[in-house]
């Protein structure tokens, strides 16, 4: 318990060195890792999506691959391909960049749905099926995807089934003016690639196991159920949260509690993570996706629901 907290703090500090002034975002990214989840980092260009993903990946002493998604990409560019080896007279599987611990899928919505969907099985079952063979992916396995919501030109929005695979969707937001100045000054802010790993694979696995053991009291489970049921009942949401979403919320909350130094869940854990864990899983009626246009977006609906659902006492 104490060790887990120390490991998490170490990781957070390391990532925080690259992403200045965003400790809550760093925390979300870290708990995504601890909760065995995949992260979707979505924001306008230039706020540090890739920096965050790269910093997290680099902070762990594990395999790391970066895939820059483009519209002409094929599934085999990610998963790998079987090639004919004349000397052995057989097809030999040549693993793609996915076969590693941390995958940074940059600008994932730039590629076609066909290629996007090739990630489905990998993200859900940590395995790849190809040519009648199934190949296990290494553990831990985590996909850090970034996407740009405003840039619609030449992008393919992720299908709901794909979105549901991501544990959390993180928005970074613009930095505070003081922090921005620090970034501009550039001194003391290392680039993500310059970070040294602070956690080994074993330690990550240990953290993930610890998070599974966080105790959830009956009222907390009821609270999660009530929240999820409220999204299904809301007139603003034609598609509510799936049971997988409820599970994801609970898993993320467990990791959050661990990062807070507790071995039990409190309602705050669930409430805090409601937006990052649920907002990308719902459809909003008549949403423009852009609050600034005067429309309602999923995050504000989820936030309102979390505000209204009675918390257990």
Partner 1 sequence: MSHFVALRLATLLLACDGLAALELAGLVSDAGTVAAALAALATWWNEPLRDRVNAVPGLARGFVLVAALASAVDLGYLAASMLDGLARLLLFLLLYRLAMRNAVRDLRDVAFLAFFMLVAAAPFTFGVGYLFVFLVFLVAGTWMLMLYHIAVESERATARPDAPVAGLGRDLLGLSLGASVATLAITGALFFVIPRIGQAALTLRTHTPRMVTGFSERVELGSFGQIETDGAIAMRVRIPEQAVGEPDRLPGLRWRGVALDTYDGRAWSVARRERSELWRSPTGEFELGRFQAMGPVLIQEVYLEPFGTDILFAAPRLLHLSVRANAIVVDDAGGVSVQNAAARFRYIAQSELESGASWSGEPLDGETRARFLQLPPLSAAVRALAREVTAGTRGAREAAAVLTAHLSGRYRYSLALRRTTTLDPVEEFLFVQRSGNCEYFAAALAVMLRSLDIPARVVNGFQRGEWNPYGRYFIVRLLDAHSWVEAYVDGAWATFDPSPRGSVEPGGPPAAVALYLDALRVRWYRYVVGWSLQDQVLAAVRLHQAALAWRLSAPDLRAWRALPRGLVMLAALVALLAVLLASRRRGAADARAALPTFYARALRTLARRGLRPGDGETAREFAQRVEAAVPPCAEPLARLTTAYEQVRFGIRPLTTEEATMIERSVLELRSRVAPFSGHPRSAAASRPPLQ
65 or 300: whose CB is closer to partner 1? 300
Nearest alpha carbon to residue 247 among 277, 276, 206: 277
Residues between 256 and 285 that touch partner 1 (CB under 8 A): 262-268, 271
| Binding pattern for the stretch 204-243 against partner 1, x by CB under 8 A and - elsewhere | -----------x-xxxx-----------------------
Which is closer to partner 1, CB of 60 or CB of 253? 253
Cis upstream peptide for 135 (omega within 30°): no
For partner 1, the closer CB: 108 or 270: 270
Question: Cβ neighbours of residue 125 under 8 Å, at least 6 residues apart?
Answer: none
Q: Looking at beta carbons only, is 132 or 307 nearer to partner 1?
A: 307
Q: Tell me whether residue 180 or residue 217 sits nearer to partner 1 (CB atom).
A: 217
Q: Hey, which residues between 127 and 186 contact partner 1 (CB under 8 A)?
A: none
Indicate whether 193 belongs to the interface with partner 1 (CB under 8 A): no
* Interface with partner 1, residue 306, by CB under 8 A: yes
With vertex at residue 106, the alpha carbon angle to CA 128 and CA 63, rounded to the nearest 5 degrees, is 55
3-state secondary structure of 197: coil
CB closer to partner 1 out of 31 and 270: 270
Given the DSSP bridges, would you call strands 102-106 and 142-147 parallel, antiparallel or unpaired? Answer: parallel
**Using CA atoms, how far apart are residues 103 and 145, in angstroms rounded to an integer?**
8
Residue 266 CB, nearest distance to partner 1 (Å)?
5
Cβ-count burial of 2 within 10 angstroms (0-12 exposed, 13-18 middle, 19+ buried)?
exposed
Tell me, by CB under 8 A, how many residues bind partner 1. 20
Q: Least distance (Å) from partner 1 to the CB of residue 265?
A: 6
CB atoms within 10 A of CB 205: 13
Are the CB atoms for 250 and 260 separated by under 8 Å?
A: no
Q: What is the DSSP letter of 88?
A: T
The burial of 289, by beta-carbon neighbours within 10 Å (0-12 exposed, 13-18 middle, 19 or more buried), is given as middle
> Which DSSP state fits 283?
B
Residues 21-60, one symbol each (x = binds partner 1 by CB under 8 A, - = not), give: ----------------------------------------
At closest approach, how far in Å is the CB of 301 from partner 1?
14
Smallest separation (angstroms) from partner 1 to the CB of 219: 7
Residue 120 CA to residue 207 CA, distance in Å, equals 25
CB of 269 to partner 1, least distance (A): 9
Encoded tokens for 134: 């199934």
Closer to partner 1 by CB, 27 or 58: give it.
27
Least distance in angstroms from the C-beta of 16 to partner 1: 23
Residue 249 touches partner 1, criterion: CB under 8 A: no
What is the contact surface with partner 1 in residues (CB under 8 A)? 215, 217-220, 262-268, 271, 306-311, 313
């Amino acid at each position: 318990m104490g060790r887990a907290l120390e490991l998490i703090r170490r990781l957070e500090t390391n990532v925080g060195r690259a992403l200045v002034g965003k400790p809550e975002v760093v925390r979300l990214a870290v708990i995504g890792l601890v909760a065995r989840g995949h992260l979707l980092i979505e924001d306008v260009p230039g706020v540090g999506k890739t920096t965050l993903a790269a910093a997290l990946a680099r902070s762990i002493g594990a395999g790391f691959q970066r895939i820059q998604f483009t519209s002409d990409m094929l599934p085999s560019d990610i998963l790998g391909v079987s090639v004919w080896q004349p000397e052995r007279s057989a097809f030999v599987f040549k693993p793609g960049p996915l076969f590693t611990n941390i995958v940074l899928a940059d600008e994932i919505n730039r590629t076609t749905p066909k290629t996007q969907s090739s990630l489905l099985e990998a993200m859900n079952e940590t395995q790849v099926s190809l040519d009648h063979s199934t190949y296990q992916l290494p553990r831990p396995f985590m996909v850090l995807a970034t996407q740009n919501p405003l840039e619609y030109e030449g992008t393919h929005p992720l299908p709901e089934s794909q979105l549901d695979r991501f544990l959390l969707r993180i928005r970074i937001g613009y930095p505070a003016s003081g922090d921005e100045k620090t970034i501009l000054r550039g001194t003391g802010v290392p680039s993500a690639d310059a970070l040294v790993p602070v956690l080994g694979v074993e330690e990550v696995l240990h953290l993930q196991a610890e998070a599974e053991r966080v105790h959830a009291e009956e009222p907390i489970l009821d609270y999660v159920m009530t929240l999820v049921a409220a999204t299904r009942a809301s007139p603003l949401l034609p598609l509510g949260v799936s049971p997988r979403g409820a599970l994801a919320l609970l898993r993320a909350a467990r990791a959050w509690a661990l990062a807070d130094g507790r071995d039990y869940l409190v309602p705050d854990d669930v409430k805090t993570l409601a937006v990052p864990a649920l907002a990308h899983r719902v459809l909003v009626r008549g949403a423009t996706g852009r609050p600034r246009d005067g429309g309602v977006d999923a995050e504000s609906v989820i936030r309102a629901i979390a505000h209204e659902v009675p918390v257990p006492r």
